[in-house]
Amino acid sequence: MERPSYVLVRRAFLSCLGVIYLIAFLSLWVQIDGLIGSKGIVPAAQTMAGVKQAVKAQNLGLSRYYRVPTLCWLGTSDGFLNAQCAAGVALAILLIIGIAPAPCLFLLWLIYLSLCTVSDPFLSFQWDVLLLETGFLAIFFAPLHWWPKRNPARTQQPSRVALWLLRWLLFKLMFRSGCVKLTSGDPTWRNLTALNYHFETQPLPTWIGWHAHHFPQWIHKSDTAFMFVIELAVPFLIFLPRRPRQLACLAFFALQFFIMLTGNYAFFNLLTMVLCLTLLDDATLQKCLPARWCGQRDERSITQWSALEICRGIILVPVVAIMMLTSFVQFYDMFHSNVRLPIRLLRAYEDVEPLRTFNGYGLFQVMTTTRPEIIVQGSSDGVTWRNYEFKYKPGDLKRRPTFVEPHQPRLDWQMWFAALGNYQSNPWFVQFCERLLEGSPPVLDLLEKNPFPDAPPKYIRAVVFEYHFTDAATKKKTGEWWRRELVGGYLPIISLRTEPGGQSGLPTAP
């Protein structure tokens, strides 16, 4: 029996991964000044100043560059932050074309890690670390050439070890996502009623999600049961021969496609689909891709390994060890949370955490059953209050939920998480309100509408409403997609204290 080839799979996988990196960097680039720029919500300069103080206090020495892995040690200016995004875009395009894929992948991983490290809380989502882990493993999967080959069939076969690491990552992502729903003890998952709430309470639903919310309960329960089959049973097909793996690929694709229809999850669903390509082989792709992509098949196998490939293979050995170690800790902790692992093992696990590259996953572990929404309001006199409207999160009751993926409006997303807590546990939110009081242009650019175009307000406050989807009759009558009830205050009235010399101080109650 002929051994399967994965040259075309590698080419398709790397090109698609380049597209994901391109989306991620472009999406961040248009927001980065408002998020972490000098006049942003959480300036990178402020973050690095705190890091340097901690480094000095702990006397970390050169290990600080590992503990806080970011290029922002070199600078935090707006120009440097934008340059990192621009470099990411350029490298992603080179990866799509097939120019120097391995070096491009290393630099893409390094730059995205750099921005994630300095952009908390805005770049700490599961798809951010999934992109880092996928991109890092892809370095060992990519061919070691500078220019794309005219005939891809004549290139060196990819590393089978790297291929199986990518498959293991897909298994870990899907299987853990199913397990955490059950191990969390959430009753909505166990009694299959989670979808009664999911479409309405997810961070950024689509208008299709509004319709899905009104499906009969038996459909919701059936869909939840199918989801558990795909997340808990189908992942084991990854380790079986060709046909079962193809079935797993189709099942994962279907699940991600339906999630995309009802909610906006940035590039997560697309990235998961890209990982699914590793379940296929060249014979399968040849039936789907244009002939010019496939080249002329050459029956002669290429077995010569260059010195670089041998070195990369040696480096791959500790990567496999770290991958297995971290996976063991993650699965053990999920199923034996009351039993502590040996301290040396936990320390080894903690030592790789700064790289954000060997991760545990668990999507929708606990289903939120209500939807609190923060409404930020400003006033020039403390009497008349005007609402700040965000670009995508619910606000105006008549605004239709829309599609925004694969772009991720990071402020809108973070507002969803902030509503689940309080402003004391979300210090970035107070800084966001301070920027509104200052009239910061890059922060205002993150919003749909500035109700104070002439001058910033003197006061800011935030209140919480509970939002629900309207029913079909109400929407037809009023045109409203949402209804809401006032819950109470979130942030008390604040204003800027003016220091001697006209400098703005910290927010303070008027």
User: What is the per-residue pLDDT for 346?
Assistant: 85
The average pLDDT across 26-40 equals 97
User: What is the per-residue pLDDT for 308?
Assistant: 81
Q: The tokens of 59 are what?
A: 């006397």
Q: pLDDT at residue 501 above 60?
A: no
Residues in the chain: 510
pLDDT in tens, 370-421: 999 999 999 999 999 999 999 999 999 999 999 999 999 999 999 999 999 9
For residues 494 and 510, what is the distance between their CA atoms, to the nearest angstrom?
Answer: 6
User: What is the per-residue pLDDT for 311?
Assistant: 87
Q: Is the dihedral of CA 206, 208, 209, 210 positive or negative?
A: positive
Q: pLDDT at residue 313 above 80?
A: yes
Banded pLDDT at 505 (limits 50, 70, 90): very low
Beta bridge mates, 505: none
Q: Give the Cα-Cα-Cα angle 451, 453, 455 (nearest 5 degrees).
A: 105
User: What is the per-residue pLDDT for 287?
Assistant: 80
304 compared with 325, residue with greater pLDDT: 325
The answer to whether 391 and 473 are in contact (CB under 8 A) is no
The average pLDDT across 98-126 equals 95
The answer to whether 210 and 469 are in contact (CB under 8 A) is yes
Q: Give the DSSP per-residue string, 148-176.
A: --SSGGGSPPPPHHHHHHHHHHHHHHHHH
Banded pLDDT at 144 (limits 50, 70, 90): confident
Q: How deeply is 173 buried, as exposed, middle or buried, from its count of CB atoms within 10 A (0-12, 13-18, 19+)?
A: buried
Q: pLDDT at residue 488 above 80?
A: yes
> What share of the chain in percent tops pLDDT 70?
93
